[in-house]
Copies of this chain bind each other. A is one copy, B any other.
Amino acid sequence: MGLYGAIEAGGTKFLCAVGTGPEDLRAVTRIPTTTPEETMERVIAFFQNFHSTLQAIGIGAFGPLDLNPNSPTFGTIPTTPKPGWSGANLLKPLQDVFHVPVHLETDVNAAALGEGRWGAARGLETFVYLTVGTGIGGGAVIHGRLLHGALHPEMGHIRIPHDWGRDPFPGICPFHGDCLEGLASGPALEARWGQPPESLPWDHPAWDLEAEYLALGLQSILCILAPERIILGGGVMENRSLFPRIRQRVKELLNRYLPIPALQGDLEDYIVPPALGERAGLLGALALAIGETD
């Protein structure tokens, strides 16, 4: 039986693995993100150890990404604040060496796929994975397929109500100021409260405000996609007390409007943490390599 390659491509590190599933990861390595050339060279060197048995490679990457196969810049990161990486091609260096299918997705789309195959969304057709960390990003599986319209989703950049009286913080998104990511990402929390989120005590007012913003964002996701479940991952969600607060605010905000059976209870099975934990990204890339449907 062949092996699959997985790459979780992030701004600080590339995690690479080969295997066939969560219980069968044969090798894992961590490569620091330096220049595109050096980083990709080390990635290739890792996978060359498995060249003969590699069936496919999946990459879940930070974005935005050009995922349009008809585009001349397909497979690249068109623009990113990460120095040296604007225009970097993630697909081609691998395709040139390994003559196997190489699948590229946003990190959150890949994580959604992994949670669908092995984790918190097993058996569901339509669900969302939202990460709340350095940024806020969402991936969606719709009718069993990753959502791609004109682009992958950029759910962190939706606008939500911002009560300036309660929260005079202007937001930190360089493009939109107080979009969801600008108000509720980890760096937004740190900028607003003067300390990183992991150092804020769970009874700090930061968390009720955070739950409010995330609940407002989830209302939009709910009304637009009507997913069967929403998985919330990322560093900020490590504060597990956010889950009951968010569930309660979503209930209150929706005010019994949507007649979805899953929304009738306390939402414990509707708004959930990832089941794959910190390996969600890497296993998502592995799920991507294995394929959406088999």
Indicate if A216 sits at the interface (CB-CB under 8 A). yes
CB closest residue in chain B, given A165: B164
Of B64, B142, B162, B216, which one neighbours A143 at CB under 8 angstroms? B142
Interface residue SS majority, chain A: loop
B-contacting 9-mer, from A6-14, A37-45, A92-100, A253-261: A253-261
Give Cα A138 to B224, complex, Å: 8
Give Cα A254 to B151, complex, Å: 14
Indicate if A123 sits at the interface (CB-CB under 8 A). no
Give Cα A78 to B256, complex, Å: 13
Give Cα A219 to B155, complex, Å: 10
Give Cα A281 to B259, complex, Å: 24
> What residues make up the interface of A, taking CB atoms closer than 8 Å to B?
64, 66, 78-79, 125-127, 138, 140, 142-143, 145, 147-162, 175-176, 178, 216, 219-221, 223-228, 253-263
- Between A and B, 30 residue pairs with Cβ closer than 8 Å are A64-B258, A78-B259, A125-B149, A126-B148, A126-B149, A142-B147, A143-B145, A147-B226, A149-B225, A149-B227, A150-B227, A150-B228, A150-B262, A151-B226, A151-B260, A152-B226, A154-B223, A154-B257, A157-B257, A158-B223, A158-B224, A159-B219, A159-B220, A159-B253, A160-B160, A175-B256, A176-B253, A221-B224, A224-B225, A225-B225
